[in-house]
Amino acid sequence: METRVYSVKEDWYARITIAVAFIALLLGGVFGVLQVISRTPYWPNLYEYLAGLGIGGGASELYYRGLTAHGVLLAIVLTTFYIVGVSAYLTPRVLGVNIKPQTLNVSLAMMVIGTALAAIAIIFGWANVLYTFYLPLVASPLFYIGAALLILGSWVFAAGVFISYLEWRRANPGVAIPVTFFGIMTTFIVWIMATIPLVFIVLKNHVPASLLGWEADALESRLFFWWFGHALVYFWLLPAITIWYYYVPKALGVPLFSETMAKIAFMLFILASTPVGLHHQLVDPGINPYFKYLQTVLTLIVASPSMLTAFNIIATMERAGRAGGGDGLFGWLFKQPWRDPVFTGLILALITFGSGGITGIINASYQLNNVVHNTAWVVGHFHTTVGTAVVLTFMAYTYLLIRDLYGRNVILRNVSLAVPILWFVGMMIFSISYYTAGLAGSPRRTSIVTYGGSIPPEWVLPMQIAAIGAIIFSLGGLIFLVQFFGSLASGARIPLTQPTLVIMNPHKPGPATILDNIRLIIVAAIILNIIAYSGALIEIYYLRGLSPVPPIHP
Amino acid sequence: MESREAVFEYIWILLIVAVIVGLSASMAYYGFARGLNPTCEAYTLEEARKAGISLEPGVREVGPGIYEVTIDARQFTFIPREVVLKDPNRVTFRVYSLDVIHGLSIVGTSVNIMVLPGYVAEFVWEPPKNAKGEFLVLCTEYCGIGHQLMYAKLVIERSSAQMAGGG
């Protein structure tokens, strides 16, 4: 079956949202560089110079303001905007169905306005609460309103995706869902399930605390935040995994090793990515160890689809490499298109994700969490996951989008390959050094690490090496951003056949199986959430009762 | 060829299941059979008041080597700022906050907990026999723009008799 779809509106939406995403990468990256240099022992504290110019309320106030901006811009703005953009780009192409233009207009307006409001609150220092905004620290109401608009805007987009799916399903009854679209839909199912607890707690606790000064319970607020917070990481990760499944087989010219395995992985993500937030609260007082243990086991289960994905992608590579004449145990590795910056970027992201996955299992491992909780280790961990598995994937894939979506030639094409390599090498140096510093007890989220006039000597060298790694991967990021914005501004135009003609439905999809029964898996996920959280909720609300405290501005 | 590849697929799935089951079992064993939980008791400040638990910050030796240490964590200090323990075998910490969320970690040990305002976190620490000297105590959760200033000191003194005996 062949469908002709013109994706003009989707492409317009994707061009704007992806550009916003990379503006966020630029700004968030600048704060990142300032931070890592300033907190590194015996390196210049750049925030002190800035404070000396009369900006802000002192070096540490500026540091936490910048840290809030770094977290919000990179973990929320960059990811959300890129994800809706790439989903808008891919959906008509893989499904052959348009997204309702109203949903695109409304979601874009809400997301942009929300981001602007939150950005104002952060830039003026009215929201020095970091991106986790734990009560009783409160920010200006502007911050919560902005964040809420951003999230609700993404819900409107998600609604557009679901409507497209239903349209496609009506036109194609009994046909298996294309894997790429399965990934996009999984992303937004997880996102909706994740953000419900967040919206609930922000409306119940944060907004009244900020607007009216009402008291709120810290433990309750943290519980709902992390119910959202860990599912959030799968919202980041799922599109990256979708891109791996979409592009790697395409670059190699072979089918994915196992579509069934890919769908099972997505199913497991829907099932288990939300009921795992308590592993962020393993050392919180006031939650029974049995409930924490239950969610630890669920966390291990949600690690399994990542392991399936790694196998599936690497098996696809091996199959293509062997078909291309690579033999022996590792010969196939040399028959890969390593000169392609997109392919290399995706595979280096995948490899880094392996390291992030293993440290993630350590973080969630109950007793071991005591050793690493809130140390620099955690910073190393999430820079390998969201910071590389996700962001490097997005950057690498964008090389294609510059051509196919923006209709421009990539400028400085010869240095493209340097971007994934610098990012990967720098991030390995950074993360391994922060693991080392964290194991020696070096904390995260502090503007400096000097205590009582001295720095514990075992933190010094790893933190300095980490800063060098950070500069290396930032250099990769800088090259990418110059290429991205430079290509948009001055890259040679490629005549896109206007409007973009899309022909889809690749290798004939087979009949739908139990794996295409999305409704079943959503119901199962909701039941699992109820089982995983009811104990802790009963304990907090009824067995002990809340202990609210008044809000405090940082 | 196809079936050979499928075998690897099944081996990999078995491996994943083995990892999940193995790790879960080991955590359950250490957590529930050996009492090694990464957690602590908590009660609300109100419950503490009703139960007559003193929240006066300070160190009390309630038996030989048995200590009770009560700490008030607040923006941006711990009270007391210095805790001295002589030959401790068993230390019960009660840490609470009246303002915002803090964390308490004793660098170089496995003590690492969150301190939530409105709650008293209580946990027992049995210091390793070779733990001796000065330890840095840090706030590990962002608690405001003076977060980096928040630390305290823990001093463990060992009498020579115990060092010789306990090893």
Give me the interface pTM, i.e. the ipTM.
0.91
Q: What is the dihedral of CA A65, A66, A72, A78, to 10 degrees?
A: 160
Contact across the interface for A257 and B5, Cβ inside 8 Å: yes
Residue A406 domain-assigned (yes or no) = yes
Residues 6+ apart with CB under 8 A from B15: none
Whether A87 maps to a domain, the answer reads: yes
Given CB atoms, is A365 within the 8 Å cutoff of chain B?
yes
For residue B165, what pLDDT is reported? 47
Q: What's the pLDDT at A146? A: 94
State yes or no: pLDDT of B37 exceeds 80. Answer: no
Domain layout of chain B by residue ranges: 1-37, 41-166
Residue A252 in domain:
yes
Cβ A435 vs Cβ A514: under 8 Å: no
H or E stretch including A6? strand A4-6
Range of the domain at A43: 4-544
CA dihedral angle for residue A247, residue A250, residue A256, residue A261, rounded to 10 degrees: 20
d(CA A259, CA A178): 9
Residue A553 falls inside a structural domain: no
Cβ atoms of residues A73 and A130 within 8 Å: no
CA atoms within 13 A on the CB side of A153: 27
**pLDDT digits 0-9 by tens, B57-74:** 999 999 999 999 999 999
Residue A303 at interface with chain B, using a CB cutoff of 8 Å: yes
Give the span between the Cα atoms of A224 and A274, in whole angstroms: 11
Question: Burial code of A370-407, b = ≥16 C-beta within 10 A, e = fewer?
Answer: bbbbbbbbbbbbbbbbbbbbbbbbbbbbbbbbbbebbb
Dihedral of CA atoms A236, A273, A231, A521 in degrees, nearest 10, equals 90
User: For position A211, what pLDDT does the model report?
Assistant: 93
Dihedral (CA of A386, A277, A83, A267) sign: positive
In B, residues 33-92, which contact A (CB 8 Å cutoff)?
Answer: 36-47, 75
Predicted local distance difference test score (pLDDT) of residue A401: 93
Cβ–Cβ under 8 Å, residues A512 and A175:
yes
- Check A285 against B116: CB less than 8 A apart: yes
Amino acid at A11: D
Compare all CA atoms of chain B with the CA of A450 and give the residue at the minimum distance: B148
CB-based contact, B126 to chain A, within 8 Å: no
Q: Which residues sit opposite B12 in a β-bridge?
A: none
Q: What was the pLDDT predicted at A18?
A: 97
- Split at pLDDT 50, 70, 90, the class of B102 is very high
d(CA A432, CA A183): 31
Query: Residue ranges of the alpha helices (H) in B29-120?
Result: 45-50
* DSSP annotation of A56: T
Encoded amino acid at A471, one letter: I
Q: What is the mean pLDDT of residues B32-53?
A: 82
User: What CATH number did the domain enclosing A182 receive?
Assistant: 1.20.210.10
Please report residues of A whose CB lies closer than 8 A to that of B123: 285
Query: What per-residue confidence (pLDDT) applies to A260?
Result: 86
> Is A206 annotated as catalytic?
no
C-beta atoms of B141 and A374 within 8 A: yes
Query: Which residues make beta-bridge pairs with B104?
Result: B113
What local confidence, expressed as pLDDT, does residue A459 receive? 94
Instruction: Tally C-beta pairs within 8 A across A and B.
Output: 189
- At residue B40 the predicted structure's pLDDT band, cuts being 50, 70 and 90, is confident
Q: Cα separation of A466 and A375, whole Å?
A: 14
Per-residue model confidence (pLDDT) at position A509:
64
Total domains in the fold of chain A: 1
Element (H, E) at A366: none
Instruction: Please provide residue A335's backbone torsions phi and psi, each rounded to the nearest 5 degrees.
Output: -100, 25
- Integer Cα distance of A242 and A130 in angstroms: 29
pLDDT along chain A (554 residues), means of 10: 69 96 96 95 92 87 94 95 95 89 96 96 92 92 94 96 93 87 93 93 94 94 94 93 91 88 90 89 88 91 91 92 85 88 95 92 87 93 94 95 91 94 97 95 92 92 96 96 95 68 51 80 91 92 90 89
Residue B159's pLDDT band (cuts 50, 70, 90): confident
CB of A273 closer than 8 Å to CB of A231: yes
Nearest chain B residue to A438 by CA distance is B107
pLDDT for the residue B41: 78
Q: How far apart are CA A245 and CA A256, in angstroms?
A: 7
Which residue is it, tokens 């590579």?
A317
Name which of B39, B25, B149 is nearest A278 in CA terms: B39
| A519 has catalytic annotation | no
Does the CA dihedral A128-A129-A130-A131 come out positive or negative? Answer: negative
What type of residue sits at position B136? L
Q: CB neighbours of A511 closer than 8 A, spacing ≥ 6? A: A174, A175, A176
Say which of A366, A446, A554 has its CB closest to residue B38: A366
Question: Which chain B residues touch A217 with a CB distance below 8 Å?
Answer: 118
Is A13 a catalytic site residue? Answer: no
CB of B119 within 8 Å of a chain A CB? The answer is yes
**Domain B41-166, classified CATH 2.60.40.420, yes or no:** yes
- Does a structural domain hold residue A549? no
Q: What pLDDT is stored for residue A234 in this prediction?
A: 93
Kindly report whether the peptide bond that precedes residue A141 is cis, defined as omega within 30 degrees of 0: no
Interchain contact, A304 vs B16, CB within 8 Å: yes
